[in-house]
Amino acid sequence: MTLLSLRGVRKSYGANVVLHDFSLDVAQGECVVLIGASGSGKSTLLRCVNLLEVVDDGVVELAGRDITDPRVNADQVRSGIGFVFQSYNLFPHLTVLDNITLAPIRVHGVAPPEARRRALAMLTRVGLAEKATAKPDELSGGQQQRAAIARAMVNNPQLLLLDEVTSALDPELVGEVLDLLRDLKREGMTMLVCTHEMSFAREVADRVCFLHQGRPLEIGPPAQVLDNPQEPRTREFLSRLRS
Amino acid sequence: MSWEPSALQQERTAYRRRQARRSTLIAAGSSIVLLVLVAFGIGSTPGWPRVRETFFNADRAWEALPTVAQGLWLNIRVMLICAVLIVIIGMTLAILRTLRGPIFFPLRVFAAAYTDVFRGLPLLLVIFLLGFGVPALQLRGLPSDAVIWGGAALVLTYSSYVAEVFRAGIESVHPSQRAAARSLGLTYRQTLRFVVLPQAVRRVLPPLLNDFVSLQKDSGLIAVLGVIDAIRAAQLETAIDFNFTPYVVAGLLFVALTIPLTRLTDYVARRQGWYGVGGGPV
């Protein structure tokens, strides 16, 4: 079953067209990894799906509903989608626990004790139970990113968007975040991920999509796109990564 | 596991201690030299005995203290009540200016015009306009108390300053914080209330305090409406014998008020870690 469907999405900033007539389907439980050079439109695509950007044209459908219709309640749509940012974006004035309970209490109407219980359970899952009362700046980068993933996951989103979530991390901290994402994938979480971690793409992705100048140039199973790319531009990109 | 500092570290500690002792001695010495020079310099001027008699007369200061302190009590009350109103109005104006959407256009324009006008108008002029102008309208039901209209003038002027301070704070919060909050499904208002404003307020606390110290002093300007505050009380005392000591007393009392306020805010802010995880060797 298709959970997310993009059809003919276009997004530009002034004269700079970032996404051209972009179409992509993501099935329930599928993990699609977006790869491509900086500026190829990966992050913009995620932001359009989460309605943090308004598309110029085209349709984004989530569970059969056109969420790019200006009449839909964007806050309500976002509350069902998890978003994890490259720079974590935890709220620095709140403790880790309060970061995680904010949306359950304020958006989903969960009673505070229950929200705290769920948040602690989620923190235990990501291995940060003992950091519940710490402020974000007392955590390492990897810990902050795991807390940010917990913050997104505590709302039981139907779709998780991950925007270069390991790019700001030291190499030895990348592993702990990727392990967590692997677990989520195994549990059937639908994920749209943009990353430069080819090992993650190879191991976790059901399909890999190579973006070039705002278009999906090549899409298919990781073995095909990463190991046997058909498009010269994909080959060029991958060889640049390896060198 | 117990740690015994190495000989090298002990030597470093001893060196730092010696340096610290030396710094204290130098600071004390230079302060004393400066004080002596200033005291001698001023004391040796031909007019000093007269100036001392006119501005620093201890007996006169003691006599004037109760009256001036009573006037200061009015300043304090005016300042406290105005400060509360200023924070509320200033915050409201700042929020109005950040609202988006066509519905809020008139509110945005109102807030912008308000800050433009009252930041530009000299405070004294606003005090005159409200203090003498409004009662002259002889409208029924309006209070005629000069303190109230003087206070209103302070609130109008200062809320426009404070609104700009709050707005700067709101705009200093990085857009990624809003994006994170909105991505969780929080509405614009919830994002403002739970994510943006708490961070903004912490950041603007020091400049805000600056405005309140300034308000404390400007609360004396309502004296032009005939209200007896600390400065006016000092003026009346001075008129008895043309000795200006009561002014100095009033000045010292104002300073004595502001210093604890500054220290308290710094202390609270540091304890809460509002200024970030400071410290370190640099």
Tell me if B22 is assigned to some domain: no
pLDDT at residue B276, rounded to an integer: 53
Please indicate if any CB of chain A lies within 8 Å of the CB of B132. Answer: no
A85/B180 touch (CB, cutoff 8 Å), yes or no: yes
Inform me whether the pLDDT recorded for B270 exceeds 80. no
Please list every residue in chain B whose beta carbon sits closer than 8 Å to the beta carbon of residue A82. Answer: 183
CB B230 within 8 A of CB B255: no
How far apart (Å, rounded) are the C-alpha atoms in residues A124 and A146?
Answer: 11
Interstrand relation of A31-35 and A207-212 (parallel, antiparallel or unpaired): parallel
Domain assignment present for B155: yes
Beta bridge partners of A26: A4
Domain extent, residue A228, equals: 2-94+159-242
pLDDT category at B42 given cuts 50, 70, 90 is confident
List the CATH number of the domain containing A63: 3.40.50.300
Query: How distant is the alpha carbon of residue B133 from its chain centre?
Result: 28
Could A92 and B182 be called an inter-chain contact, meaning their C-beta atoms sit closer than 8 Å? no
Cα B3 from chain centroid (whole Å): 48
Domain count, chain B: 1
Residue B128, in any domain of the structure: yes
Averaged pLDDT, B35-52: 88
What is the rounded CA–CA span in Å between residue A75 and residue A82?
A: 12
Residue range of the domain that includes B59: 54-270
* CATH code of residue B253: 1.10.3720.10
Identify the bridge partners of residue A12 per DSSP, sorted by sequence position: A17
Residue A16, domain member (yes or no): yes
Please state whether beta strands A159-163 and A191-194 pair in parallel, antiparallel, or not at all (unpaired). Answer: parallel
- B44/A contact by beta carbon, under 8 A: no
> Please, is B153 exposed, middle or buried when counting C-beta atoms within 10 Å of its C-beta (0-12, 13-18, 19+)?
buried
CA A169 to CA A35: how far, in whole Å? 18
Structure token digits, residue A57: 């044209």
Cβ contacts (< 8 Å) between B186 and chain A: which residues?
Answer: 75, 102-103, 106-107
User: Are residues B186 and A103, on separate chains, in Cβ contact within 8 Å?
Assistant: yes
Q: What is the pLDDT of residue B278?
A: 46
Question: Contact A112/A98 with Cβ under 8 angstroms?
Answer: no
pLDDT value at position B1? 65
User: CB distance from B19 to chain A under 8 Å?
Assistant: no
B176 at interface of A, judged by CB pairs closer than 8 A = yes
Q: Please check whether residue A167 lies inside any domain of the structure.
A: yes
Cβ–Cβ gap A91/B277 under 8 Å: no
Q: What is the helix (H) or strand (E) element at residue A241, kind and residue range?
A: helix A232-242
Whether A117 is covered by a domain: the verdict is no
* In a domain? residue A27: yes
C-alpha A96/C-alpha A133 separation (Å) is 6
Q: Under DSSP, is residue B3 helix (H, G, I), strand (E, B) or coil?
A: coil
Mean pLDDT estimate for chain B: 88
Q: Which helix (H) or strand (E) holds B220?
A: none
Within a domain: A128: no
Q: What is the ipTM of this complex?
A: 0.91
3-state helix, strand, coil in chain B (%, to 5): 80, 0, 20
Residue B238 in domain: yes
Which pLDDT score is estimated for B275? 56
Q: Is A5 at the interface with chain B, CB within 8 A?
A: no
Share of residues in chain A with pLDDT > 70 (%): 100
Instruction: Answer whether residue A204 is part of any domain.
Output: yes
- Judge contact between B17 and B25, C-beta under 8 A: no
Query: What's phi and psi for B7, nearest 5 deg?
Result: -55, -40
Stretch A219-233: mean pLDDT: 92
Over residues B210-214, the mean pLDDT reads 86
Residue B178 CB partners (closer than 8 Å, separation 6+): B191, B195, B196
Asked if the Cβ–Cβ distance from B177 to A87 is below 8 Å, we say no
Taking only Cα atoms into account, the Rg of chain A, rounded to an integer number of angstroms, comes to 18
Residues B38 and B232: their CA atoms lie apart, in Å, by 31
Outline where A165-205 has alpha helix (H): 171-186, 198-204
DSSP letter at B132 equals: I
pLDDT in tens, B157-173: 999 999 999 999 999 99
Let me know if residue B4 belongs to a domain.
Answer: no
Say if the Cβ atoms of A50 and B183 lie within 8 Å: yes
Whether A107 maps to a domain, the answer reads no
| CB–CB contact A85 B177 (8 Å) | no
Chain B residues touching A137 at Cβ < 8 A: 276-277
pLDDT of amino acid A71: 93
> What integer pLDDT is reported at residue B279 of this predicted model?
47
Q: Which helix (H) or strand (E) holds A23?
A: strand A16-27
Contacts of A91 (CB under 8 A, 6+ apart): A98, A99, A102, A136, B177, B180, B181, B195, B199
For residue A52, give how far its alpha carbon lies from the nearest alpha carbon of chain B (Å): 7
* B183 to A90: CB separation less than 8 angstroms, yes or no: no
Counted domains in chain A: 1
CB contact (8 A) between residue B184 and residue A107: yes
Collect all residues of chain A within an 8 Å Cβ-Cβ radius of residue B177.
89, 91
What strands lie across the sheet with A31-35, from one edge to the other? A81-84, A159-163, A191-194, A31-35, A207-212, A215-220
CA atoms within 13 A on the CB side of A14: 0
The answer to whether B2 faces chain A, any CB pair under 8 Å, is no
Give B204's DSSP letter: H
Which candidate, B218, B97, B117, B110, places its Cα nearest to that of B166? B97
B81 pLDDT above the threshold of 50:
yes
Separation of alpha carbons B201 and B203, rounded Å: 5
Contact A204, A31 (CB under 8 A): yes
Residue ranges of alpha helices (H) inside B99-145 are: 105-120, 123-128, 134-136
pLDDT-based confidence at B227, cuts 50/70/90? confident
Residues near A139 by Cβ (< 8 Å), separated by ≥ 6? A96, A128, A131, A147
